[in-house]
Amino acid sequence: MRTTVGIIGAGPAGLLLARLLHNAGIDSVVLESRDRDYVERRQRAGILEQGTVDVLREAGAGERMDREGLRHDGIELRFGKRRHRVDFPALTGGKSVMVYAQTEVCKDLIALQLKDGGPLLFEAEALAVEGAETDRPRVRFRHEGVEDVLECDYVVGCDGFWGVARRAFPAELSRTFERTYPFGWLGILADVAPSHDELVYARHDRGFALLSMRSPSVSRLYLQVPEGTDAEEWSDERIWDELDRRFETADGWTLERGPITQKSVTPMRSYVHEPMRHGRLFLAGDAAHIVPPTGAKGLNLAVGDVVTFARALTHRDETGSDELLDAYSATCLRRVWQAERFSYDMTTMLHRDPEANGFDLRLQLARLERVTASRAAETDLAESYTGFPIG
């Protein structure tokens, strides 16, 4: 099998890249180790930056998002039983975000790819990337029990942290930077209308809490829990009681309860692999970087990566110049590190570090006071949350 771009992974990054390349007249093949049902049910991010929303619309994948997604013009910060709303459009010149789950983005892009895109092979396990230093890299994969080879001009690894793409980078070339956090998020889905019309980020002495949503009738909520927590240790009643405590306000705001349909614990870490390119092998999304979810940046960073690659390859086809492809890693990493910085800032400002002393806790509150009292500090948060420029 032969194609111009071999894409490993049919998450939002790989699927969007295939769509962008198709629209540019560049052929590709997408290999996904899981079946279609798994990809369309995999719960992940739900906040789309303004730039991601614009890219999906331009790619022809925005119709259902615009119909069913929930535009949000701000977030609420809570601490000390106080409430402070951050108004995104007023602080950013009109930017907003969209609540639209990654599962729905994948469904939309899969439908488009199967309708008029290139081959999308489910249950096709990539085994290795070979010849990245040559002008004919290839991906060895197994599909329907048979091993095969996909020959490419370029390979893009959108296969996550545990995928094969990053392992094809020589050890002497790779540099990694990471931080792990001594807590995680206990996340739930509940069949109850959201108790607030925008996301609520709550800092509490007992730990962080987040109120989010998946639709007008389904709530998504999170609690900070110790690292290694088993979700099954938490009863539904205990979860709701703890959420009530952490979201408490002085004005009598009420958290609505409902049946919990799903619960899981997400570990928290920051990770960056440099460079993001080796020869004709390019990394995108979680294959190259991970952020704690506090900043809502994971999916959006992946979108920035594949947009950067698609623009660079289109530029090469139009001009014959490899200039933008050669700059891929540096271009992406500028955005990645800004997202890492913002996600780290949000995480450390809002979570209770089990090792924190009184001085640390006072600094945390001082940071929140600064954001809520200074238009400059509030603008930095709003600009970072709604998204950094792509490219």
Active-site residue numbers? 72, 201, 293, 297, 385
Residue 372: count other Cβ atoms within 10 Å of its Cβ. 17
Strand order in the sheet with 281-283: 120-121, 28-31, 5-8, 154-157, 281-283, 277-278
Work out whether strand 199-203 and strand 74-79 pair parallel, antiparallel, or are unpaired. Answer: parallel
The span from the CA of 303 to the CA of 193, in Å, is 29
The span from the CA of 318 to the CA of 308, in Å, is 15
List Cβ neighbours of 348 (8 Å cut-off, separation of 6 or more): 364
Give the type of residue at 162: W
Terminal C-alpha separation, the chain? 32
Residue 171: count other Cβ atoms within 10 Å of its Cβ. 6
Q: What 3-state class would DSSP assign to 228?
A: coil
Beta bridge partners of 47: 99
The span from the CA of 252 to the CA of 14, in Å, is 45
22, two tokens: 């198709």
Report phi then psi at 177, rounded to 5. Answer: -130, 125
CB–CB of 209/221 below 8 Å?
yes
